Structure 1
Amino acid sequence: MSDHAADHRHHDHGHHHHDDHNDHDHDDHDGHHHHAFDWLMGVRIAFVALCAVAVHFQWPDANPPLLMIGDQVFLPFSWWALAGIVIGGWPLLEEAWESILRRKMTMELSMGIAILAAAYTGYFFVALIITFFVLVAEVLEGMTLERGRRAIRNLLELLPRQVSVRRNGQIAEVDSSTLRPGDIVLVAPGALIPVDGRVIGGSSHVDESRITGESMPIEKLVDDHVYAGSINRSGALEIDARSIGKDTSYGRIIETIEQAERSRAPIQHLSDRLAAYIVYVALAFAVLEYWISKGDVNSTISVIVVAGACGVAAGTPLAILGAIGRAARLGAIVKGGAHLETLGVVDTVVLDKTGTLTFGKPEVVAIHPADGIEEGDLLAAATMAELRSEHPLGKAVIGLAQARGITIAEPETFSYTAGRGIAAVSQGERVLVGNRDWLLENSVSVQAGELPRGSTPIHVSRGGRYLGSISVADTVRPEAARAVSALREMGIRTVLLTGDTAEVADAVAAQLGIADVRSRLLPEQKLEHIKTLVASNAAVAMVGDGVNDTLALAAANVGVAMGSGTAVAREQADIVLLGNDLERFVETVALARRTRRVIWFNFAGTVVIDAIGILLVMTGFVGPVLAVMIHTGSELAFILNSARLLPMGKKPAHAHEERNIAAAPSAQPAE
């Protein structure tokens, strides 16, 4: 019967102006209201029903008095009808009057016209029936929308209300709303962490799966950062609170969701216009029917009533609201209805490689000892030389050695040559670790071997003897192949843009089944590729995680940032994937497409039912009461169709029972 949310900026498919923070006008500004079911509304509906029964049975007087003004005799008059229409229909008539003041045709105004016309012509029972069903429909719509908003508000309730703090040497239980930055917060084992802050006492393992997507609990020691919404699994922690409530990473994400729920997608403006057109068409046919029927007010009112656009006006914002809430449970924070709508028509997805398709963390993928050399000796020599290195490839070698429990010896001397490798001395023997040219420069012959595609070899020698090579590569995320395959099945083209070498890019693309690959790209070149795609009328979603992706994220129709990415990428993006899981992105695309189908089904269904309803009224098959039934029945059907998108399930008893429903998007402290 009405829509919700404030006006949202126009979404230009080529540009983003991220000003969502200014878009919080309330529903009332559009003159639309939702009536949740409270005791007053319940009494009002019951009173209208009682008045309708009294009018129908002509109680208490079977011969109602005539309404007379001066010498003019009007129609039979009923105080029951007057009381029911004025008292019961007051909310509807008030909204109709507001529509007149705003010079805007709304469903409330058309229903108000129908009610007053029915009453004026003596159809008091019809006027009360219209009032009754309109009020019931408004309440059901309001309850459905409130359910969606409650699902979003429940995300905030996952944070604890009572918190233990140490103030002035005393430990006290305080309300979380009274916390201040600088408070020392005590978190017991099994409790939720209520603030962003730094550990100053104790140690524990913390479950950050809803924040960073890391499935295993992370050990937290003194000076480590912890985040609101994560779960303290083992030991007790003392935390120096840095950010409180809505200032935490968690709180800012919830605020983003709430702003998105208040924002309006272009399709919502379209639904408003369609609803207004339907009302105008209904009034035009009502005038035509009045002329054809030679003044038959009964059928004229029926035409006005039967043509309902409420399913469109209410169902569209409800579908957007439900989809945003459901996306949050999937682990995708959609920053506005416009982005959800655009995602529903995306036909090209551009993927960054490092951190998006891969973990962005090199790992050892193969060890190739030379003839007569043990694998353990090769790894031990390489680890010793890399011990003082800061190179990411060296850290991958050290990580493997530590995982295998190999004792790492300190080098006696260490030197690093940029772009070549390391020279170290251990037990009087010179150890060389680096690329092929580095060993050849030092007169060590290197054996050729088969290397895993896309990997980087680290060659090792000791005392002038070649020990073998260790292949290191950035490993592909396990879900990436499934996500790319699912996008292909949805008819979406995938493109890989990366600054990495052609060899590495081609290897990753081959592993994932991506045909369109562009490598060795600078950020500006990525931007040009996105602009070219957009200019070719492709609807482009860009998925990235780093500073080098921010230009491309802004230029795409929809920018999608991995939650583990940089703060600037998350700020620039329209959608943030909390768990760094591309499959969640695919699910969000599918959800956006489903939302679009639901909305357009409501559009088409409303037009068809209204056309059939008007035809049935004008051919005499439908009267006022049945017209009311058709109107409210179709409205509720389309609202319930949209309600299927609302998040299902009850709020979890414990936060960890629900994966990624909403959380801070980063493993880094808020900037």
Structure 2
Amino acid sequence: MNTQNDRGGTLADQAQDRTTVPAAEVRHAHVGGGRQEGHDHDEEHSQDHGLDWIEGGRIALVALAAAAEWFQVWNPLSQVSVIGVIGLLVGGYPIFKEAFENLLERRMTMELSMTIAIVAAAAIGEFFTSLVITLFVLVAEVLEGLTVGRGRKAIRDLLEFLPREVAVRRTGSIQTVSAEELSVGDVILVSPGGRIPVDGVVVSGHSFADESRITGESLPVEKGEGARVFAGAINQSGALEIRAERIGRDTSYGKIIEAVERAERSRAPVQRLADQLAGYLVYFALGAAALTYLITRDIRATISVVIVVGACGIAAGTPLAILGGIGRSARLGAIIKGGVHLEMLGKVDTVVLDKTGTLTFGRPEVQAVIPEPGVTAEELLDAAATAELRSEHPLGKSILVHARSLGRTVQEPQSFEYTPGRGISARGADGNILVGNWAWMRDNGLAAPEAGAQGAASEVLVARDGRLLGSIAVADTVRPEAKRAIAALQAMGIRTILLTGDNHAVASAVGRELGLREIEAGLLPEEKLSRIQALVGQGRVVAMVGDGVNDAPALAEANVGVAMGSGTDVAQESADMVLLGNDLERFVETVRVARRTRGIIWQNFAGTLVVDLLGIGLAAFGLLGPLLAAFIHVASELAFILNSARLLPQASGKALPVPAPTVAPGVVTASR
């Protein structure tokens, strides 16, 4: 059976302006699409529904006609069954219509081969057989439509979570407006139990949000001032005021829906192969039928050969498997931008990882404050914070954050001067302050030794009026799930490589902690790109995971580019897959889903070939009648479609809980 669907207007077609698309367009967007048979234009026949009264009436009429034909209820003409002809014309109309359209387009489909079998059986007076075949086909199409419809519903279930009306603070008061009227920058009030309609930042309030439908995180996530929130999440406890940063299709919700729509519109190589194989099977069946008739002159065996071939199992089951894989990945918090990328992800044998923002949080934090003898930790921290107040360096910002978190008052420096690669010279109320590395201290006449970092952290030296006050250890924290994710990838036989622009000491510290054996450090963006090109040139199927602008060329060059959700827009646009929750274990789970999708598709391929070849052989030798051939055709088709349906996401949309980290997060150096 040909699973064709009316795509209608997709979200990508409806929305034009990325900054003004109303959230309602995401909610009401029609998620359509389906299998195409050798062409890319939209189909007219829709099966994205259950059993309607027309289909039900047609099935009932054909069933009654078959029963009447079996019991010979009324047969006024000796040569032709009037009831049989009426039943075939009414019941077989949609099959005959589609077969005729396919014939005009010179496309070989199962509808055309089944029409040949139905007409041939009727031509030799086997009206009961023709009616039963027609009945099998009609019932199978309904069951197939229900199964494929379940796939659409599993995805559209996401849309129902966005609110239709929202409370917005405007002109000093709170107004209730339609979701269509939201704009970027609006401050939105979300009450306890309410659904968050936008991606944004909390400006006031404290609560916990259920983000399981967006990031796959099974436990509620605490939200306070400055925290990021996602559209589609559920505010569980306190009231939140959120400044909208992304609305409509730009939200995480919108991107999930776009990914599914794109997957349905795109045609992965394995899907094109499925359509080609389905056509070849039909041609083979017709050739085998012709040969059977030439050898045996048995018309019943000939018709049985045509009927038994069930290529629809791969033609319809393949796009359903891809849709299921895309949908299940979306529920894990991984947006895959098309079926071709899902298929390629299932072939990946090498994963290349960036460090900062990918394996680490990308946020340097103070690990230790180490004063010299006779100096207090508070005195050291206050001097460093004063000097760093006007600094834009990440290490300086982390020192300021740490000082303020301890309630220290940061004094404004009277003067400030920054020397790139060295450090800061500033004048505070208590004297001249130097903050930087050991080379900066020696440049200014201090006998500071080249001290090693504390553990794996960078050491920021602080001096005042020619006296060394001490050092502050600052480090980027390794993501707690990174070690488990890398171990899981290696257990799957996937080669893991770390490419970073940081120095070798930093990269080695990360590699040792995470169990990475292949490490390349000090790389410029173009050097990362050349490494990816070399791996691809060696025949490796490479997935590159990164988050920064400098990763964008490598992400685009890899077979599958994977961007962290916290990464830059450039990285996300260059990537084929985005991890909304920044959880590398979700990436591992998505790789497993991709491999399982490919496995199911090839199971369908192998099963179809075995069943069809065995069926053709039995039918050709007269061991398989038309009725049994039709039953085998329908049963095998539905079996393979249901096999693909195993990939569809569960209705609850809940991800499996992730075990708590069993290892303490480590620290790595960050070079000034």
Q: Shorter chain as normaliser: what TM range?
A: 0.7 to 0.9
2:258 to 255, 258, 265: 255
- Structure 1, residues 438-469: CA drift from partner, whole Å, max 9, x if none? 23344434366553454311123355443432
Tell me, yes or no, if the aligned pair for 2:358 and 2:545 is still in contact at 8 Å.
yes
1:490/1:186 CA distance change after superposition, 3 Å: closer
Look up the match of 2:126. Answer: 123
Partner of 1:594: 596
CA distance in 2, matches of 1:213, 1:134: 40
Check conservation: 2:35, 2:316, Cα contact below 8 A: no
The answer for the alignment partner of 2:576 in structure 1 is: 574
Work out which of the residue numbers 77, 85, 88 in structure 2 matches 1:85. 88
**Separation of aligned partners in 2, 1:181 and 1:232:** 20
Q: Alpha carbons of 1:247 and 1:104: their partners in 2 closer, same or farther (altered >3 Å)?
A: same
User: Alignment partner for residue 277 of structure 1, among 280, 290, 313?
Assistant: 280
Work out whether 1:219 is the aligned partner of 2:232: no
Aligned match of 1:44: 58
For residues 499 and 617 of structure 1, the distance between their equivalents in structure 2, rounded to whole angstroms, comes to: 66
CA contact (8 A) 2:482 2:514 kept: yes
Relative to 1, partners in 2 of residues 1:26 and 1:233: Cα closer, same or farther, differing over 3 Å?
closer
Change (3 A) 1:173 1:78: farther
1:507 aligns with 2:519: no
Bigger mean CA deviation after superposition, 77-86 or 367-376:
367-376
Pairing 1:164-563 to 2, within 5 Å after superposition: 164=167, 173=176, 175-177=178-180, 186-195=189-198, 207=209, 209=211, 216-220=221-225, 228-232=231-235, 244-246=247-249, 248=251, 250-294=253-297, 296-371=298-373, 374-403=376-405, 405-410=406-411, 413-418=414-419, 419-424=421-426, 428-446=430-448, 451-452=453-454, 454-462=456-464, 464-563=466-565
Q: Indicate the SS of the match to 1:543.
A: strand
Corresponding residue number in structure 2 for 1:56: 70
Give the alignment's Cα RMSD to 1 decimal.
Answer: 3.3
Please point out which of 153, 157, 178 is paired with 2:156: 153
SS state at 2:471 partner = strand
In 1: Cα distance, 2:575 partner to 2:413 partner = 49
Q: Contact 1:204–1:232 (CA<8 Å) still a contact in 2?
A: no
Question: What CA distance in whole angstroms lies between the structure 2 residues aligned with 1:255 and 1:171?
Answer: 32
The superposition leaves residues 298-319 of structure 1 with CA deviations (integer Å, 9 ceiling, x where unpaired) of: 1111111112111111110110
**Residues 1:239 and 1:459: Cα distance change in structure 2 (over 3 Å):** closer
Q: Provide, for residues 194-222 of structure 1, a one-character-per-residue CA deviation record: whole Å limited to 9, x for no partner.
A: 246798x965658495668997444348x
Contact 2:438 2:450 in 1 (8 A): no
Q: Does the Cα contact within 8 Å between 2:215 and 2:334 map onto a contact in 1? A: no
Is 2:78 aligned against 1:66?
yes
Distance 1:312 1:412 in 2: 71
Of 112, 116, 126, 1:113 maps to: 116
1:535, distance to aligned residue in structure 2 (A): 1.3
**Is the 1:414–1:422 Cα contact (8 Å) retained in structure 2?**
no
Which moved further from structure 2: 448-457 or 109-118? 448-457
Q: Is the 8 A contact 1:385 1:423 kept in 2?
A: yes
1:619–1:230 CA distance, 2 compared to 1 (3 A):
closer
Contact 1:357–1:480 (Cα < 8 Å) also in 2: yes
CA distance in 2 between partners of 1:586 and 1:135 (Å): 41
Q: Normalising by structure 2, report the TM-score.
A: 0.84
Q: Give the secondary-structure state (helix, strand or coil) at the position aligned to 2:224.
A: strand
In 2: Cα distance, 1:179 partner to 1:470 partner? 46
Aligned-pair distance for 1:116? 0.7
Cα 1:375/1:225, change in 2 over 3 Å: closer
Q: Aligned AA for 1:109? A: L
**2:371, 2:470 within 8 Å by CA — same for their partners in 1?**
yes
Question: Cα distance 1:173–1:449, how it changes in 2: closer, same or farther (>3 A)?
Answer: closer
Q: Comparing 42-51 with 169-178, which one deviates more in the overlay? A: 169-178
Q: Could you tell me whether the CA contact under 8 Å between 2:32 and 2:152 is conserved in 1?
A: no
Q: Deviations over 1:66-104 (max 9, x none)?
A: 23xxxxxxxxx2222112211112111111111111111
Structure 1 range deviating more: 374-383 or 523-532: 374-383
Q: State which drifts further: 274-283 or 182-191.
A: 182-191
Q: How many angstroms does 1:228 deviate by? A: 3.7
Does the 8 Å contact 2:208/2:222 carry over to 1?
Answer: yes
**CA gap 1:641/1:32 in 2 versus in 1, 3 angstroms:** farther
Q: Secondary structure, in 3 states, of the residue corresponding to 2:612?
A: helix
**Pair 487,452 (structure 1): closer, same or farther in 2 beyond 3 Å:** farther
Q: Secondary structure at the match of 2:508?
A: helix
- Give SS of 2:161's match: coil
**Structure 1 residues 316 and 82: CA distance shift in structure 2, 3 A:** same
- C-alpha contact (below 8 Å) 2:122/2:130 kept by paired residues: yes
Q: How many angstroms does 1:555 deviate by?
A: 1.1
Check the 8 A contact 2:118/2:134 in 1, yes or no: yes
Contact 1:3 1:32 in 2 (8 A): no
Cα gap change, 1:400/1:177 in structure 2, threshold over 3 Å: closer, same or farther? closer
What whole-Å deviation, never above 9, does each CA across 1:400-439 have from its counterpart, x for those lacking one?
3334x24234256443341333345556354433211223
Which stretch of structure 1 is more off in the superposition, 239-248 or 426-435? 239-248
1:594-630 per-residue CA deviation (whole Å, 9 max, x = no partner) reads 1001001100110011111112222332211111111
- Residue segments in structure 2 that go unaligned for 5+ positions in a row: 8-30, 659-672
DSSP-derived class of the 1:276 partner: helix
Q: Are the structure 2 counterparts of residues 5 and 321 from structure 1 closer, same or farther at C-alpha, using a change threshold of 3 Å?
A: farther
In the TM superposition, what is the alpha-carbon distance from 1:633 to its structure 2 partner? Answer: 0.9
Amino acid at match of 2:263: A
Stretches of structure 1 that go unaligned for 5 or more consecutive residues are 8-22, 68-76, 660-671
Distance 1:399 1:246 in 2: 35
Deviations 1:345-387 (A, max 9, x none): 1111111111111111112234444456554554444334434
Q: Is the 8 A contact 2:331 2:653 kept in 1?
A: no
* Aligned partners of 2:34 and 2:264 also within 8 Å: no
Of stretches 78-87 and 183-192 in structure 1, the one that deviates more from structure 2 is 183-192
**1: CA distance, partners of 2:657 / 2:496:** 31
Q: Conserved in 1, the CA contact under 8 Å of 2:546 and 2:555?
A: yes
Q: Residues 383-404 of structure 1, C-alpha deviation per residue, up to 9 Å, x if partnerless?
A: 344344332112222333334x
Equivalent AA in structure 2 for residue 593 of structure 1: R
In structure 1, give the amino acid aligned to 2:78. L
Shift of 1:251: 2.4
Q: Distance in 1 between matches of 2:656 and 2:231?
A: 16
Q: Is the 8 A contact 1:6 1:264 kept in 2?
A: no
Percentage of identical aligned residues: 56
Q: What residue is the counterpart of 1:19 in the other structure?
A: none
AA aligned to 1:335 is K
1:111-169 CA distance string (max 9 Å, x none):
11111111111111111111111111111111111111112222122100233468999
Q: Amino acid of the residue matched to residue 313 of structure 1?
A: A
In 1, distance between residues paired with 2:92 and 2:594? 37
